[in-house]
Amino acid sequence: MTSKINTYKRFTSIFLLIFSLFIGFSNNLSASEPQEHEVDATHVEADTHGGHEAHEANGPIDISAIALEHVSDSHSWHFWGEGHDAVAAPLPIILKGNNGIAFFMSSEFHHDNEGKVVVEKNGERFVMFEEKIYFANETANEYGQYVTLTAEEKEVSVSNATPLDFSITKNVAQMFISVFVILWIFISIAKAYKTQGVTSAPKGKQSFFEPLILFVRDDIAKGNIGHGSEKFVPYLLTVFFMILINNVFGMIPIGANLTGNIAFTLVLSVATLIVTNINGNKNYWSHIFLPHAPKAIWPILIPIEVVGILTKPFALMMRLFANMTAGHIIIISLVGLIFVFKTIYIAPVSVAFALFIDVLECLVAFLQAYVFTMLTALFIGSAVADHNEDGAHNSDDKALEAGH
With binding defined as CB under 8 A, does residue 69 bind other proteins? yes
Q: How far is the CB of 261 from other proteins (least distance, A)?
A: 6
Q: Hey, CA dihedral for 186, 187, 190, 195, is it positive or negative?
A: negative
CA-to-CA distance for 59 and 47, rounded, in angstroms? 9
CA-to-CA distance for 136 and 149, rounded, in angstroms? 12
Angstrom CA distances, 171 to 74, 147, 151, 363, stand at: 7, 25, 29, 22
Nearer to other proteins, 162 or 286 (CB): 162
With binding defined as CB under 8 A, does residue 211 bind other proteins? no
Q: How far is the CB of 193 from other proteins (least distance, A)?
A: 4
With binding defined as CB under 8 A, does residue 183 bind other proteins? yes
Q: How far is the CB of 276 from other proteins (least distance, A)?
A: 15
**Bridge partners (DSSP) listed for residue 5:** none
With binding defined as CB under 8 A, does residue 215 bind other proteins? no
Site for other proteins in 271-300 (CB under 8 A): 271
Distance, CA of 273 to chain centre: 17
Question: Which of 237, 320, 335, 385 is the binder for other proteins (CB under 8 A)?
Answer: 237
Amino acid at 118: V
Q: Which of 58, 88, 228 is nearest to 169 (CA)?
A: 88
Question: Which of 44, 140, 181, 213 is the binder for other proteins (CB under 8 A)?
Answer: 213
Question: Which of 14, 263, 304, 363 is the binder for other proteins (CB under 8 A)?
Answer: 263
Question: Which of 193, 208, 289, 356 is the binder for other proteins (CB under 8 A)?
Answer: 193
Site for other proteins in 146-175 (CB under 8 A): 154-157, 164-169, 171-172, 175
Nearer to other proteins, 154 or 282 (CB): 154
Question: Which of 79, 80, 103, 176 is the binder for other proteins (CB under 8 A)?
Answer: 176
What would the x/- binding string for other proteins be over residues 25 to 64, using CB under 8 A?
--x------------------------xxx-------x-x
Nearer to other proteins, 230 or 389 (CB): 230
With binding defined as CB under 8 A, does residue 251 bind other proteins? no
Determine contact, residues 369/247, Cβ cutoff 8 Å. yes
With binding defined as CB under 8 A, does residue 103 bind other proteins? no
End-to-end CA distance of the chain: 42
Nearer to other proteins, 126 or 264 (CB): 264
Q: Hey, CA dihedral for 321, 360, 176, 104, is it positive or negative?
A: positive
**Which pairs with CB-CB distance under 8 Å and at least 24 residues apart come from 228-231?**
228/384, 229/377, 229/381
Q: Which of 223, 221, 182 is nearest to 205 (CA)?
A: 182
Q: Site size for other proteins, by CB under 8 A? A: 64
What would the x/- binding string for other proteins be over residues 113 to 152, using CB under 8 A?
-----------------xxx--------------------
In a 13 Å sphere around the CA of 172, the CA atoms on its Cβ side amount to 13
251 membership: H or E segment, kind and range: helix 233-251
CA-to-CA distance for 355 and 350, rounded, in angstroms? 8
Nearer to other proteins, 55 or 312 (CB): 55
Stretch that binds other proteins, among 33-41, 117-125, 230-238, 364-372 (CB under 8 A): 230-238
**Bridge partners (DSSP) listed for residue 119:** 126
Question: Which of 78, 217, 287, 319 is the binder for other proteins (CB under 8 A)?
Answer: 217
Question: Which of 73, 112, 114, 361 is the binder for other proteins (CB under 8 A)?
Answer: 73
Q: Which of 377, 104, 396 is nearest to 230 (CA)?
A: 377
Angstrom CA distances, 313 to 148, 270, 271, 273, 379, stand at: 37, 7, 9, 6, 9
CA-to-CA distance for 70 and 332, rounded, in angstroms? 8
Nearer to other proteins, 257 or 287 (CB): 257
Task: Work out the number of other CB atoms within 10 angstroms of the CB of residue 181.
Answer: 15
Determine contact, residues 171/181, Cβ cutoff 8 Å. no
Site for other proteins in 314-373 (CB under 8 A): 321, 325
Q: How far is the CB of 53 from other proteins (least distance, A)?
A: 6
Query: Footprint of other proteins on this chain (CB under 8 A)?
Result: 23, 27, 52-54, 62, 64-65, 68-69, 71-73, 94, 130-132, 154-157, 164-169, 171-172, 175-176, 179, 182-183, 186-187, 189-190, 193-194, 198-199, 210, 213-214, 217, 230, 233-235, 237-238, 241-242, 261-264, 266-268, 271, 321, 325
